[in-house]
Amino acid sequence: MAMVKCGMRGHLGPACNAVGYVDREILGINHLYKSPAWQHLKACTLSSPRSGPFREDAPGWCHANFEPEGLLSSISAILSGTIGIHYGHVLMHFKGHSQRLKQWVSMAIGLLVLAFLLHFSHAIPINKQLYTISYVCLTAGAAGVVFSGFYILVLKKWILPLILHIRMQIYSLLSIFVSLFAYCFRKNKQIDVWGLRTPFLFLEWIGMNSMLIFVLGAQGILAAFINGWYYNKPDKTLVTWIQTHIFIDAWHSRNLGTLLYVIFAEITFYGVLAGILHKLGMYWKL
């Protein structure tokens, strides 16, 4: 196995970053993720940006394991969750709509400005794999802006207390959305998007079973179960057949086909599933 020698500090590249170093020293190389995203780079494969066989002249770090959700990354994830909790505390402790929006929007804009300053000044670039502080500021700031938009659109005169259920590895954006759906779409509590409720009923159903949809969909549990059944080869499953023949081949684009698959297949499926569970009165309550 090729050895990578760094001889430098503060490097943010795939080979010599502190995140990978700490995980290798404490967790061990065999306990790290074996297919990191950097294997899709042009330096590693001619199939970039998709996965493929390694180039003959690929550097040693292309073959190395890397854990994107390791020890140092977890610290940043905790910070993301803490910011999400702050958004929830604003909702609980400030009673006026304008006060809440002022707190959320001002903090969100401040985080976004800080993220761009750190990135474009090359002090701490935005890097999802390393979960840098600038990336935390970017996602948390974007979450605040989007959450404020949802607040303006969907909430009436009264507001349900928003209790955020944070896990270390869930981004603040996801934490806020899961909690928003779970508590704003509760039974007998309706939302009103400009008086048009019917087109958004599937969101109400998904919100009533948000944790179930998160576990089955976002964590890939249901897809993994379905992919366990295949014909002849492991890559010939129902999911891959639908993706390839109905979406990717039809539009002659993998990126566009994948996007349409998520919108018109996955979201539609989970909306229908949540609707059926709602009709049966079955919910996974927090």
Give tens-digit pLDDT for 3-62.
Answer: 555 655 666 777 678 888 888 888 887 888 788 877 888 888 887 777 788 888 888 778
Give me the domain span that covers residue 163: 72-184
Asked if 76 and 179 sit in the same domain, the reply is yes
The H or E element containing residue 174 is: helix 172-184
What's the total number of domains in the chain?
3
Asked if 55 and 76 sit in the same domain, the reply is no
Asked if 56 and 135 sit in the same domain, the reply is no
Lookup: tokens for 165? 């259920």
CA atoms within a 13 Å half-sphere pointing along the CA-CB vector of 244: 7
Asked if 176 and 261 sit in the same domain, the reply is no
- Identify any residues that bridge with 237 across adjacent strands, giving them in sequence order: 230
Asked if 111 and 199 sit in the same domain, the reply is no
Asked if 160 and 189 sit in the same domain, the reply is no
| b/e sequence 155-166, b meaning 16+ C-beta within 10 Å | beeeeeebebeb
Per-residue confidence at 276, pLDDT binned at 50, 70, 90?
very high
Mean pLDDT for the chain overall: 78
Cα–Cα distance list, 264 to 241, 246, 247 (Å): 15, 11, 10
Asked if 64 and 76 sit in the same domain, the reply is no
Query: How far apart (Å, rounded) are the C-alpha atoms in residues 155 and 67?
Result: 40
Q: What is the pTM of this model?
A: 0.58
Asked if 198 and 278 sit in the same domain, the reply is yes
Q: Which of 21, 38, 68 is the last residue of a domain?
A: 68
Asked if 47 and 108 sit in the same domain, the reply is no
By three-state DSSP, how is residue 54 classified? strand
Asked if 127 and 189 sit in the same domain, the reply is no
Q: Quote the crossing angle between the two packed helices 268-280 and 201-208, to the nearest 10°.
A: 70
Asked if 102 and 46 sit in the same domain, the reply is no
- The tens digit of pLDDT for each residue in 35-46 reads 887 788 888 888
Asked if 279 and 209 sit in the same domain, the reply is yes
